[in-house]
Amino acid sequence: MASRAHLLLLLQALPAPLLALTPASFRPTVRFQPQVAHTGGLGRHPSLSCPRQRRALRVRAEDEDPVTNFFTKIFGKNARNDPEPMGLKRATVEEFPDLWPPTQELGEVLADDPADVRVFRPLLKQTTLEFQPLLLAYDADRDGWSNKDFRRQMDGSYAAVLVGRTSSGTVFGAYNPAGWLGYGDFRECISAFLFTWVDGDTSKPAAKLPKVGGPSMAILDQSGKGPQWGPDGLRVRDQGGENREG
C-alpha cells in the first residue's frame, strides 16, 4: 500500500507526428537445422554425409527465410544493402527510437531541465522525449486523484513519463511512448519501460525494467481507468481520499 505522497506526469511540450514504420533490424529470421535420425550409419541422406555439405545446407536454409525471399523477389538482391530501396527509406533508431527496445545506456540532462526532470532525464535515452523539453501535464495533488481527473487531463496526450513516490519513500515511474486516448486499446509499445529507486535515493542509478515478451499489451489504455503498464506491471488505481494502491 502506498500513500498519495506524490504522483505526477510530465508530458512532451510539442507533440510530433506519429509514424508506423518497421525497422529493418526487426525482420524475423527463420533458421532451419537439418534433423538427422540415429540410424547407426545406415540409411542417411547422401547430402548429409559430409560436414562441408551439411554446413552449406545450413547456410542456404538460413538465407532463405520467407521475409527475405519475399523482399528479394520484389526489390531484387541488390536492394538488401540499399538504405533506400525503390525510394523507401529504412527506419533508423536515431529517427524513430521508439521502434526499438529500451537501452540501459544513460543520456544527458538538458540545460533547461528543472530539478525534478534532471532526476529521470538520463533514463529517456533512445526515446522520442530524450531531447524534448517537458512540462507538467498532471499532478494528482493539484488536479485530483480519481481516474476521472486523470483522464480529463491526459486523454488525447502524447508520450509521457509518470513519476510517483510512496509513503515509504520509494520513487517509481514509467515511460509511455504512445500517450493515452481512453478508447480501451491495449497499445503495442516495445520501448515502454518502468523504473524505480527502491530506497528513494535518486542519486544512485535507477533500476530500469524494459517491456518483455514483445510489444503487445505494453499500455492498457482502458476508458475511465487509471494508467497501467502491462497486465502484471504498474497499475495506478482510483482510491480517492484513502490509501493509494500501486
Whether residues 108 and 224 share a domain: the answer is: yes
The span from the CA of 79 to the CA of 225, in Å, is 47
Verify that 176 and 196 share a domain, yes or no: yes
Using CA atoms in the order 220, 222, 225, 228, what is the torsion angle rounded to 10 degrees? 0
- Write out pLDDT tens, residues 217-246: 999 999 889 999 999 899 988 665 554 444
Domain for residue 176, yes or no? yes
How many angstroms from the chain centroid is the CA of residue 188?
8
Whether 124 and 194 share a structural domain: yes
| 66 and 160 inside one domain | no
Our count of domains for the chain comes to: 2
* Residue 240, in any domain of the structure: no
A 10 A CB-CB count for 203 gives 6
**148 and 218 part of one domain:** yes
State the residue range of the domain holding 29. Answer: 24-87
pTM assigned to the model: 0.67
Q: Which of 1-10, 133-142, 143-152, 156-165 has the lowest mean pLDDT?
A: 1-10
Same-domain pairing of 45 and 129: no
Same domain membership, residue 150 and residue 76: no
Q: Where are the beta strands (DSSP E) in the chain?
A: 6-12, 134-139, 160-165, 171-176, 185-187, 193-197, 207-210, 219-221, 228-229, 234-235
pLDDT of residue 92: 80
Residues 169 and 111 in one domain: yes
Grouping H, G, I as helix, E, B as strand and the rest as coil, residue 69 is helix
**Which residue pairs, CB below 8 angstroms and at least 24 apart, start in 106-111?**
none
